[in-house]
Amino acid sequence: MPIALYALTAGAFGIGVTEFVIMGLLLNVGADFGVSIAAAGLLISGYALGVVVGAPIMTTATARWPRKTVLLVLMAIFTIGNAACALAPSYGALMAARVLTSFAHGTFFGVGSVVATGLVPRERRASAIAVMFMGLTVANILGVPFGTWLGQHFGWRASFWAVTVIGALAFLVIARFVPKIAALADAGDWRADLRALARRPVLLGLLTTVLGWVGVFGVFTYIAPLLTTVTGFSEGAVSPILLIFGGGLVVGNLLGGKLADRHVVRTVLGSLLSLSVVLGLMTFALHSHWLAIVFVALLGATAFATVAPLQLWVMEKASGAGESLASSFNIAAFNLGNAIGAWLGGFVIEHGPGLTAVPWVAALVPLVGVGVALLSLRLDRRDAGRQAAPVCETPAM
């Protein structure tokens, strides 16, 4: 893999840390600004919604720019946004800074995926996407725990200053190693991009992504109470177990990329089915300490095994000028799935069967995603058959 890919990995690492590190600092932020934990938790929701809104706006606004320039501008926004978080004088200012930072997220991963696939031969495109997303997995294993420790010992602002430094370093690495890549000749026509995005195959691909990640975050959001209340682990055991989850993320991410290089469609279907099976069996595994640990690792592996295949599948369905926009929208789809999954898990806990039912309810959603993917394939084959059918002409009299 070319070194430019690892430059993109560095940027992905920084973005991954800033997205998730706030989860471990909610008590600190709430105490500093005198707001409730629920209000502090909205900083996570605000970021996720910023990704959903910012992805199409930033991708469309920068469509005519050289792609390296786009990546550098996004890393500059990311770095400035984190510095603003560290300096925020109030809760409202911190929320605004988080939203500003989130605007770089979707487009960086969207445009970065397009750049990554252009750096390697066609048969290694999914692996290239997986290498870039490896920054996100490493952020969960190393960056987030360290950022949380830093914030708890030196104040939550120290965590954001650390991420600011990471952003500046990522900017320099991208500037040095990513080659200059011009925009597409027909880029910048937002109407054409929207038409490409509105095509049925692309929309069904985006829906498949959302459904897959509703299942993931339906369980992951509540992994701590599941491990402590259902399995019986102490609170101190949760962090080491989450490190095992992070190891699963890395393995699944690279494996999903390798398999998708061979056959994208089969990997999309197989990874979603595997995710559903793991979530369903987790309902029973959580009652055993050792099985719970094994299935936490399997959840990480099957969750991120879907990422590169889903990303490449949507990009292939868009192709051409609309590829960057579709790629960015798919990042927004992941985040939308995160938000819906967290809501679904909470609904099951408060109004449904309860905490122990969260895994099997979450398991049903990726199955729906498999159904949507199969429907998309069937409709694609039908359309291809119609285009290939010979046209019968009436002979002239």
- Alpha-carbon distance 319 to 366, whole Å? 25
b/e per residue, 281-309, with b = 16+ CB within 10 A? bbbebbeeeeebbbbbbbbbbbbbbbbbb
Picking from 152, 57, 72, 139, the residue whose alpha carbon sits closest to that of residue 112 is 72
Superfamily the domain 186-386 falls into: MFS general substrate transporter like domains (1.20.1250.20)
Residue 248 has which token pair?
């699963």
Residue found under tokens 């870039």: 132
Along the 397 residues of the chain, how does pLDDT read in single tens digits? 678 888 888 888 888 888 778 877 777 888 888 887 667 777 877 888 888 888 888 888 887 788 888 889 999 999 999 999 999 999 999 999 999 898 888 888 888 888 888 878 877 778 888 888 888 788 877 777 788 788 878 888 998 999 999 899 989 988 888 887 765 544 556 566 667 667 888 888 889 999 988 998 888 878 878 888 888 888 778 778 878 888 888 889 888 888 888 888 899 999 999 999 999 999 999 999 999 999 999 999 999 898 888 888 888 787 665 677 787 788 888 888 887 887 888 888 878 788 889 899 999 999 999 999 999 888 878 876 676 655 554 444 4
pLDDT digits (tens, 9 = 90+) for 281-293: 999 999 999 999 9
- Alpha-carbon distance 117 to 123, whole Å? 10
Contacts of 256 (CB under 8 A, 6+ apart): 126, 130, 267, 271, 304, 305, 306, 307, 308, 309
CB 81 within 8 Å of CB 163? no
3-state secondary structure of 286: coil
Question: Domain boundaries in the chain?
Answer: 1-183, 186-386
pLDDT digits (tens, 9 = 90+) for 146-191: 887 888 788 889 989 999 998 999 899 888 888 877 655 445 565 6
CB 245 within 8 Å of CB 299? yes
CB 104 within 8 Å of CB 78? yes
- Please say whether the structural domain 1-183 has been given the CATH code 1.20.1250.20: yes
Tell me whether domains 1-183 and 186-386 share a fold: yes
What does pTM read for this prediction?
0.77
Picking from 155, 157, 174, the residue whose alpha carbon sits closest to that of residue 14 is 174
What's the per-residue H, E or C state across 294-330? HHHHHHHHHHHHCHHHHHHHHHHHHCHHHHHHHHHHH
- Alpha-carbon distance 259 to 153, whole Å? 42
CB 196 within 8 Å of CB 322? yes
